Structure 1
Amino acid sequence: MPKILSVKQLYAADTATVKKNDISFIDLMEHVGTLCFQWIHDRLQGDPITIQIFCGTGNNGGDGLVIARHLKQYGYNVKTHIINCGNDRSEVFLKNYDRLKEIGVWAEMITCESELPAVSENDMVVDAIFGLGLSRKPENLIKKVIEHINGSNAFVLSIDFPSGLYAEKSVTDTVSVVKAYHTLTFQTPKLAFLLPENRYYTKTWEVLDIGLDAEYIYNAKTDNYLLYKQDIKPMYRFREKFSHKGEFGHAVIIGGSYGKMGAVTLSTKAAISIGSGLVTAHIPQCGYQIIQTSVPEIMVEVDAENEMQKFDININATVIGIGVGMGTHIETVKGFTEFLNKNKVPLVLDADALNIISKNKELLKLVPENSVLTPHPKEFERLVGKWKNDYDKLKKLRSLSKKHKIIIVLKGAYSAIAHEGALFFNSTGNPALSTAGSGDVLTGIITGLIAQNYHPFEAAKMGVYLHGKTSELAMKTKVYETFIASDIIDYLSSAIMDLLMKEPKVVPQKEAESKNDKKAKPDEGTEMYI
């Protein structure tokens, strides 16, 4: 499971790598810069595009100089610029500056007096001004250069971190941050890339394994993780030949109200589709015919005519998902409160269950430990109040989860799952999931997994992963706008098959043997259109 490490930890990993391998920092920088060059070269294959590299005078600028040297040696049309705005130059930057001069390349110095270099929208810009160690906002000349890059409409590739973006706090001056199309970040994912407030600073990103000391990273303690396929796959439980429905639990979905029966219909269908042995919908009488017709595989219990009031469940439920489409009628609130006082079954709480709790926070004390809450950002705000920024939001998320010993799935891009003070960010999904009913389906999926005796924390992680994966698989034949919540259920089988599928072997592309390599177009299918 990839760890999301702090800036301090990553610097320590650099030091540990240099010490263990008996190399220098300049050797490590050469290795990193070469990997970045290879990434660019693999995609351009000698294309005559103009590549403009903007370097600061610290270590990130040193990376840029290594990239510039290799690109020049392979015959690329490279223009290298150094932002000369002070006397602070790192030792490794200066060494790489000398190495660039040794091959006959003199970088252009950008000073307060000089004109900024012209950048065409047809150029590629490599941003190597600042790395992740930045602690104060760029000003004066550097800010001017960043604004110039952003205004060029060129393809911008940031090295390790978009310049001006902070790794561990919020941006205070939005115009002083490079807006990258893609970022090559080093060794581990970065928390800043997972936060909505930073969405404009890199459209896409990927992690380059630069070979930092594996032992140090393994032992490094963190409370932030990013979930990938390899983390979810071991959780999956194969069914035996003689298994039967009684072994896979009985999920109950409580919800619905007049005009909102679609939500509970989606949830129950998702719960049965993910593999719950039995599913019962406990709904208002007005929805009886709707749900019996829409999901014939489930059973139904009814409550009052138009809304939930009594919550009298007459079956032995393994797990209960509650709140979807339920409404907040006064009688519903009263019945829900009484239900929480009597209930001992694990819960998955969503939608109006959360809205009712947000108006009476004491009800959280009645929620069983290891229950799962699945709020979207607005529902979460009702629970915890407004936050200053996304970092403060995550702090509140950890706190609420830890205080009540519950699992919270904060939905959105990179949905964050809080458990025992740690955060686990999901890697799957796309904007297609921004559709009515998507959250109702997730509630059903997680409820159905818990019914099958998955631990609620496992169910939350697997459920969110599969939920997101359906939208990715669907985009082979659909577009974001036409994807609806029912499609999530339809693609669940495909998502599970994808989870169980072996990863294809990655064959490294043969390194070009000379700077006169045969030109080729960028790889088809890539999202990085240069």
Structure 2
Amino acid sequence: MKIFSKEQIYEGDRLTAERQNITSTDLMERAGTQIFNWMHARMQGAQVPIHVFCGIGNNGGDGLVLARHLILDGYSVKTYIINYSDKRSKDFLVNYERIKNTTKDWPLLLTDAESLPEINPNDIIVDAVFGIGLNRPVVSWVKTLFMHFKASKAFTLSIDIPSGLFVDKPVEDEDAVVYAGFTLSFASPKLVFFLPETAKYTVQWEILDIGLDQEYTFITQTETELISKYEVLPNYRPRDKFSHKGLFGHSLIIGGSYGKIGAVTLASKAALTTGAGLVTNYVPKCGYQILQTAFPEAMVITDASEERITAIDYDIEPTVIAFGVGVGQNTETVKAFETFLKTNKTRLVIDADGLNILSKNQSLLELLPPESVLTPHPKELERLIGSWTNDFEKLDKAKAFAEKHKVILVIKGANTITIFNNKQFVNTTGNPGLATAGSGDVLTGIITGLISQGYHPLSAAIFGVYLHGKAADIAVDDTGYESLLASDVINNIGKAIVDLFAQPEHQEVAQQAPEAQ
């Protein structure tokens, strides 16, 4: 699913009106009616007090259309105009006149924090104060109104985006943003629904189709895409009846050190479970018996050293190489990695201490083959690209880093974001159970296993992140979040692949807000 920028949404509105020969007021009527249809389908006439708070721009105009339809259908509605400026949009004024002609109970004009209405916990708040066009701080009395919403504990439905939330810059004052229980978003979700600092402002979201021009939405390229089953399914590579293991590549996992052979075990199990034809582990001698016992399906090559990697020397021809899981940062290991990079031409997946070695020896980044996949968690990312002050700066720095070094950057966390060629792909699977030891090693193995089979590294990263999260989502049905182990994720990779082809029992469009992993 494409995530449009606000400029692209504005252009979509303009072209829709032009190509469908309708006015912007007609498009607003369509949007407000869709919101009403959504609410009416769920409320079925229930007489719950509904407070519709409308700004004086187009978001407020949407709210006025909704309020008018609610009134005409007999709902218990109070409408308020948040008079934060003396400027009004044209379409707001049109719909203000329409609602005045609909009811004798005209919208109440709010101009300060002294006359805020009483809102009870069982009421419903509709937030239509600010839309995506907000570009300046919220005035103090409107901030007080938003705090009043939160204190009331009433269910809050935001229109398009929680008011006070910017689509393209960070929040400066958390009290100046509406905390929405649900957001009905036009055209596409907003990137801020998925970022760690701003996801908390909406618990759930859903897209409302307001009939934007289909040609425009189809051909318009976006910087950000949201990845779900329907985005990864076309990339799936089915197997032919006469397939054999030689067709699915040979993954080499280089890593491990004394006491950390488990990381290699998890990565290699994940690679083979995802479909790699062959997996070989390159580990210190201390890992030989462990791996031959714990994972007999994999082959093992050992370093001359008992406890760490001191040289990387093998006589196989791997399709893809993963480096870093459990490897440590010993001086001999760093030197071995540098020597290896100077001659290696095979595609790489780098994680854990491999990333830490690169961050401390950034000249080695120039030796990485193009389209190498790097999978940092937030602290590893900070070591690579430097610190940031907010999520937008983090993404900008990550894109610049990926572009400079021609790598694919997988930023792990809730809604893991994969970055390549100035595009970002936001994942929708996964849960807080993944905050457990070894889950990153499993992801490394999954991505490695996909590249081994012939998936392009970018497709492998996007697909791998999806499968990793989906396997965890399936596993927690039995384990719960706290008891999920990395091994449970591996054991459910197959179910995650099978689920790609499962038909849902019912269509569920609403999306749960991201949770920390």
TM-score of the superposed pair, with normalisation by structure 2: 0.95
CA contact (8 A) 2:471 2:489 kept: yes
Instruction: Give the Cα separation in 2 of the matches to 1:193 and 1:449.
Output: 29
For 1:305, the equivalent position in structure 2 comes to 306
For 2:263, the equivalent position in structure 1 comes to 263
Shift of 1:507: 11
For 1:35, the equivalent position in structure 2 comes to 34
1:94-493 to structure 2, matched below 5 A, reads 94-104=93-103, 105-112=105-112, 114-303=114-303, 304-493=305-494
For 2:46, the equivalent position in structure 1 comes to 47
Instruction: Give the Cα separation in 2 of the matches to 1:364 and 1:114.
Output: 59
| SS of the residue 2:402 aligns to | helix
Q: Residues 140-190 of structure 1, C-alpha deviation per residue, up to 9 Å, x if partnerless?
A: 221111111122222111100111111111111221111112211111221
Shift of 1:471: 2.3
Q: Residues 451-500 of structure 1, C-alpha deviation per residue, up to 9 Å, x if partnerless?
A: 11111111111101111111222343342222221111111111111112
**Letter of the structure 1 residue corresponding to residue 37 of structure 2:** Q
The 1:527/1:439 distance shift into structure 2, 3 A limit, reads closer
Q: Residues 169-213 of structure 1, C-alpha deviation per residue, up to 9 Å, x if partnerless?
A: 111122111111221111122122221111221122222221111
Percent identical among aligned pairs is 52
| SS of the residue 1:500 aligns to | coil
For 1:25, the equivalent position in structure 2 comes to 24
The 1:318/1:113 distance shift into structure 2, 3 A limit, reads closer
| SS of the residue 1:409 aligns to | strand
Instruction: Give the Cα separation in 2 of the matches to 1:335 and 1:6.
Output: 45
For 1:65, the equivalent position in structure 2 comes to 64
**Letter of the structure 2 residue corresponding to residue 278 of structure 1:** L
Tell me, yes or no, if structure 1 residue 16 matches structure 2 residue 21: no
| SS of the residue 1:149 aligns to | helix
Q: Residues 314-340 of structure 1, C-alpha deviation per residue, up to 9 Å, x if partnerless?
A: 321111111011111111111111111
**Letter of the structure 2 residue corresponding to residue 175 of structure 1:** D
CA contact (8 A) 2:206 2:511 kept: no
Segment of structure 1 superposing worse, 9-18 or 68-77: 68-77
1:83-98 to structure 2, matched below 5 A, reads 83-98=82-97
Q: Residues 23-78 of structure 1, C-alpha deviation per residue, up to 9 Å, x if partnerless?
A: 11111111111111122222222333222111111111111111112222223222
Instruction: Give the Cα separation in 1 of the matches to 2:92 and 2:185.
Output: 19
Instruction: Give the Cα separation in 1 of the matches to 2:446 and 2:340.
Output: 22
Q: Residues 337-374 of structure 1, C-alpha deviation per residue, up to 9 Å, x if partnerless?
A: 11111212111000000000100101011111111111
| SS of the residue 2:127 aligns to | strand
Instruction: Give the Cα separation in 2 of the matches to 1:399 and 1:59.
Output: 35
Q: Unpaired segments of 5 or more residues in structure 1?
A: 509-524
Shift of 1:300: 1.0
The 1:46/1:347 distance shift into structure 2, 3 A limit, reads same
Tell me, yes or no, if structure 1 residue 78 matches structure 2 residue 96: no
**Letter of the structure 1 residue corresponding to residue 184 of structure 2:** L
CA contact (8 A) 2:447 2:461 kept: yes
**Letter of the structure 1 residue corresponding to residue 383 of structure 2:** R
Instruction: Give the Cα separation in 2 of the matches to 1:29 and 1:384.
Output: 43
Instruction: Give the Cα separation in 1 of the matches to 2:234 and 2:385.
Output: 34
Instruction: Give the Cα separation in 1 of the matches to 2:119 and 2:354.
Output: 54
Instruction: Give the Cα separation in 2 of the matches to 1:301 and 1:381.
Output: 33
| SS of the residue 1:127 aligns to | strand
The 1:499/1:507 distance shift into structure 2, 3 A limit, reads closer
| SS of the residue 1:477 aligns to | helix
**Letter of the structure 1 residue corresponding to residue 118 of structure 2:** A
**Letter of the structure 1 residue corresponding to residue 14 of structure 2:** T
| SS of the residue 2:152 aligns to | coil
Instruction: Give the Cα separation in 2 of the matches to 1:94 and 1:286.
Output: 76
| SS of the residue 1:163 aligns to | coil
For 2:499, the equivalent position in structure 1 comes to 498
CA contact (8 A) 2:203 2:512 kept: no
Segment of structure 1 superposing worse, 108-117 or 177-186: 108-117
- Aligned-residue CA RMSD in angstroms? 1.9
**Letter of the structure 2 residue corresponding to residue 494 of structure 1:** K
| SS of the residue 2:487 aligns to | helix
| SS of the residue 1:481 aligns to | coil
TM-score of the superposed pair, with normalisation by structure 1: 0.93
**Letter of the structure 1 residue corresponding to residue 88 of structure 2:** R
Instruction: Give the Cα separation in 2 of the matches to 1:433 and 1:492.
Output: 14
Q: Unpaired segments of 5 or more residues in structure 2?
A: none
Tell me how many residue pairs correspond in the alignment: 511
The 1:177/1:507 distance shift into structure 2, 3 A limit, reads closer
**Letter of the structure 1 residue corresponding to residue 56 of structure 2:** T
| SS of the residue 2:309 aligns to | coil
Q: Residues 247-285 of structure 1, C-alpha deviation per residue, up to 9 Å, x if partnerless?
A: 111101111111212211110100010011110111112
Segment of structure 1 superposing worse, 405-414 or 104-113: 104-113
The 1:113/1:223 distance shift into structure 2, 3 A limit, reads closer
